Amino acid sequence: MIEHKWQFVRLGGFDQVNIRTGKDITSLKYLDQKLWAVLSCPVNNIEIDQKTLFLIDTDNDGYIRIPEILSAIEWCCSLLKNPDILINNNKVLKLMDINTDSENGKRVFLAAKKVLENTGKSNVEAISLDDISDTINIFKNTKFNGDGIITVQSTDNENLKKVIEEIIICVGSVEDLSGLPGICSDKVNLFFSECDDFNNWYKEYENNSEILLFKENIDDVYQLYKKIKTKIDDYFTRCKLRKYDENATNLLNSFENIYKQISLKDIDANDENIGILPLSLIHNEESLNLKENINPFWASTLHTFNKKIVLPLFGEKEKITFDEWQFLKDKFSNYENWLNGKKGILVEKLGINRIREILSGNYKNLLLDLIEKDKELEPETKAISELDKLIRYYCFLNTLLNNYVSFSNFYNKKQKAIFQVGTLYIDSRACELCIKVDDISKHSQFAARSHLYIIYCECSRNNGAEKINIAAAITAGDSDQLFVGRNGVFYDCQGRDWNATVVKIIETSISLRQAFWAPYKRVSKMISEQIQKFAAAKAKQREEAMAAKIMETKDKVQENETNSAQKNQPLDIAKFAGIFAAIGLAVGALGTAIVSIAKGLFSLQWWQIPLVLIGAMLAVSLPSMILTWFKLRNRNIAPLLDANGWAVNAKLKINILFGATLTYCAKLPASAEHIIIDPFNSKKSKWRILVYLFFILAILFLIWQYNAKEKLFFFSKLTNYLNNCFAVKK
């Protein structure tokens, strides 16, 4: 193994290799894979040129692995004079940097010159991705381009151009490198095979007297036969039933229900209800009269049938027998069998005459010769494809390495990592750690291991025509106003804006500040919920009581008597005494507690009081803060990426300081003028402030005059006095 002096930097809690030179890139094949940040990544849902990723993914399995990365590096560096130019992340490749010492390098160099010449840049000595991507412009003025596809511009022969157009119409086209529709050898062979099949199939009709009934208008005649066939079969079947049972004649000729239905309105011979009736009434003769006693709905059709089918086959006839009808059916049956065996359907639209004209010429060989002539330029086209590949590697390979071998792009903040697909603006903050997600439910099951506060959003634009899902990590601020259904705006890396709606949240602590106030918020929320529940229960109880009283139906006199009796009842002094006693005990206990706390505080030195208050608050908040501190230190984006198909090889930590750079909370500009007076803010009453101040001063005065035991004795005496005053002997 060749020794190479690597430089490692500590980023995200682990050592990452620092790619500084082309030598570092070419030596990556000697770097232990255990030191790579990633072992595999998907080709989708990441912000880098997709075609570059597909070129690197040589096995087309949708994932890029280390051997494929190394193979791309080796191929790219073999075509460059100095691999150091890969570090610069330039978008324009100078022709002088292409290594022309190898045959492959020479072909790529000449291809670059050819592309620049075709795009009108002959004097330019550098080529960009835009130059090579515009294949239409590169090949627009060339008859042949080596892709094995020819267009109408590939020949000056007008007859051959017409055949090419007919091939495209019948069997479809393939896109030429010039962007025009064209044909390849497979299309040519398919077209002429279809022509041969259709011609041979049609010869069967011409050479078989059993099929050849009518030389002209055969399709129209056959459609006429199909239209009336069922009605004629129905007529002869009814005749057979009459012969089988003469008593059925009246029933077979009786259509009373139909006549009743059509008699209620103006009768039209084209009424479909009339068409349901038989072609003709049955009689003793087993033949069909073609001219008399015909159902009006079918009269015109039967007349045409007689003129175009019966007359050419049997001559002038007034009636047709069952045997003659069966003979005619057998003839058309042969035609149907031939028709069902049709071949060459793709070229049928050209007609038999045009097909035979094409087959009589030498068009097939001429077209195949043109295609072979085009293929002679295949090496040049292949060289252009390799040039395209080289330029893409030159532009994007180093970016991929800094998001694969290491995560320097993510931690150095010079540019976004390739998995960061945009920025989500929501709740007065901008979240930069956003990744694209295919299945939210599946992703969230594993992403919870990251210890990150994650919101999943469904994003749409163009009235819902485009939709994506993202997972955004919240690493600063609090979560008080984040909930499912909250809306925001997502900007992708192309600057396009999307409507974003929160559909799922993985909750955890976001910051130490939130952890400090969390216990107080939970207590406040619990008290608020209990008060609301109590108020709702009381309101419901009152409503039920009022409903019960409204539903009561009592005699008015009885109600008056009852009310009168209640008024005469003596006041239950014992009951009220118990209430006042309870109130007294509560007030005494509360006062004792307040006085004890206040006395304890005032017994301290003045500088000790704030320390005690701070200590009390820390006693409540410190456990929550310690737990949150450990969670924040253990935040890790590896599970977030693994859930998206990555194979991350390290623990990618997000500490408190770095997390603050991934989510930006709203801040006023330093030079902004801030008017803090809110005209819509609720105004506090001055009397309320005076009452509070008086109450505080009164407590302080009591503490100054009495000790805690005396005040406790005072509240006890007050309670006993109330009990004695309201005691009533039973």
Same domain flag for 61 and 15: yes
Domain assignment of residue 729, yes or no: no
User: Which pair of structure tokens corresponds to residue 671?
Assistant: 């030079």
User: What is the rounded distance in angstroms from the CA atom of residue 233 to the CA atom of residue 333?
Assistant: 14
Tens digit of each residue's pLDDT (9 = 90 or more) over 155-187: 889 999 999 999 999 999 998 877 789 999 999
User: What is the rounded distance in angstroms from the CA atom of residue 697 to the CA atom of residue 712?
Assistant: 19
Asked whether the predicted pLDDT for residue 424 surpasses 50, the reply is yes
Asked whether the predicted pLDDT for residue 695 surpasses 70, the reply is no
Average pLDDT (594-598) is 59
Query: Coil, strand or helix: which one is 63?
Result: strand
Domain assignment of residue 699, yes or no: no
577, 729 contact by CB (below 8 A): no
β-pair partners for 647: 40
Under the banding of pLDDT at 50, 70 and 90, the label for residue 364 is very high
Under the banding of pLDDT at 50, 70 and 90, the label for residue 106 is very high
What per-residue confidence (pLDDT) applies to 218? 74
Under the banding of pLDDT at 50, 70 and 90, the label for residue 350 is very high
Tens digit of each residue's pLDDT (9 = 90 or more) over 514-540: 666 666 666 666 776 777 777 777 777
Same domain flag for 475 and 464: yes
Domain assignment of residue 650, yes or no: no
User: Which pair of structure tokens corresponds to residue 244?
Assistant: 């089988």
Phi, psi of 563 (to 5 degrees): -65, -40
Tell me how many domains the chain contains: 4
Asked whether the predicted pLDDT for residue 262 surpasses 80, the reply is no
Same domain flag for 381 and 461: no
Which of 563 and 623 is assigned the larger pLDDT?
Answer: 623
Average pLDDT (216-244) is 82
Same domain flag for 130 and 35: yes
Strands 429-431 and 319-321: unpaired
- The helix (H) or strand (E) run that includes residue 385 is helix 378-401
Domain assignment of residue 119, yes or no: yes
Under the banding of pLDDT at 50, 70 and 90, the label for residue 419 is very high
Helix 573-602 / helix 708-726 crossing angle, nearest 10 deg: 180
Q: Which region holds residue 422: left if phi is over 0, alpha if psi is between -120 and 50, else beta?
A: left
β-pair partners for 175: 181
Same domain flag for 114 and 12: yes
Same domain flag for 81 and 42: yes
What per-residue confidence (pLDDT) applies to 730? 38
Same domain flag for 337 and 402: no
Domain assignment of residue 130, yes or no: yes
User: What is the rounded distance in angstroms from the CA atom of residue 109 to the CA atom of residue 96?
Assistant: 9
Average pLDDT (259-272) is 73
Tens digit of each residue's pLDDT (9 = 90 or more) over 314-347: 888 888 888 888 888 888 887 788 888 889 999 9
Please state whether the predicted TM-score (pTM) of the whole model is above 0.85. no
Same domain flag for 328 and 359: no
Asked whether the predicted pLDDT for residue 575 surpasses 50, the reply is no
Average pLDDT (466-483) is 90
Instruction: Write the CB contacts of 375 (distance below 8 Å, at least 6 apart in sequence).
Output: 146, 148
Phi, psi of 507 (to 5 degrees): -90, 140
Domain assignment of residue 19, yes or no: yes
Average pLDDT (213-219) is 68
Tens digit of each residue's pLDDT (9 = 90 or more) over 655-684: 878 888 888 888 888 888 877 777 766 665
Same domain flag for 283 and 225: yes
Domain that holds residue 100: 8-141+377-411
Same domain flag for 24 and 137: yes
Place of tokens 């980023």: 11
Please provide the average confidence, as pLDDT, over all residues in the chain. Answer: 81
Same domain flag for 335 and 277: yes
Domain assignment of residue 91, yes or no: yes
Asked whether the predicted pLDDT for residue 729 surpasses 50, the reply is no
Asked whether the predicted pLDDT for residue 137 surpasses 90, the reply is no
Which of 56 and 4 is assigned the larger pLDDT?
Answer: 56
Q: Of the spans 232-236, 316-320, 459-463, which averages the highest pLDDT?
A: 459-463
Average pLDDT (121-131) is 87
Phi, psi of 289 (to 5 degrees): -75, 120
Same domain flag for 389 and 455: no
- Based on C-alpha coordinates, what's the Rg of the chain? 47
Domain assignment of residue 518, yes or no: no
